[in-house]
Amino acid sequence: MSRTWRVPRPVIAAKLAGTAAFALVALWFSHDPSRLVVAALAALLLGAYAVRDLASPVTLATTADGVIVRRGFFGQRKLLWSQIERIRIDSRRRLAGRSNLLEIDTGTTIYLFSRYEIGADPSDVADELRSARTGH
């Protein structure tokens, strides 16, 4: 049984709204070259991430023999279960609370996913991946 996790639509909408806001700021500061460049670059970067999420929203998927992870801007990489050494939650305390990231470790590469990339609680996704890996 395969399962996919994708970028939530509200996150994509926030990126698009941020792009529009930075574009307006760039127009506002069109008389100041340095501020214009910073605002325009921010708009381009955020817009590029929004386009990526619209064009390729699936960031993680399971298959019978492994997982497919998004790599780079539009790329994907298939990881066989035998290549994955560890699936765990990287939990860190921050100023405003706690941050949890899903970590998939192949020994040579670590893939990290936040709830804003997979649209679910990383702990729940880790449990599902472990179950899929063992076949239960």
Which residues does the chain have with pLDDT short of 70? 1, 136
Q: How confident is the model over 39-68, as pLDDT tens digits? A: 999 999 999 999 999 999 899 999 999 999
Predicted TM-score of the model (pTM): 0.83
**The pLDDT value given to residue 94:** 81
Tokens of 129: 């991946």
Instruction: Using alpha carbons, list the distances in angstroms from residue 130 to 52, 77, 84, 92.
Output: 28, 19, 11, 21
Q: Do residues 82 and 134 make contact, with C-beta atoms less than 8 angstroms apart?
A: no
**The pLDDT value given to residue 136:** 60
Sheet hosting strand 86-94, strand order edge to edge = 86-94, 97-105, 110-113
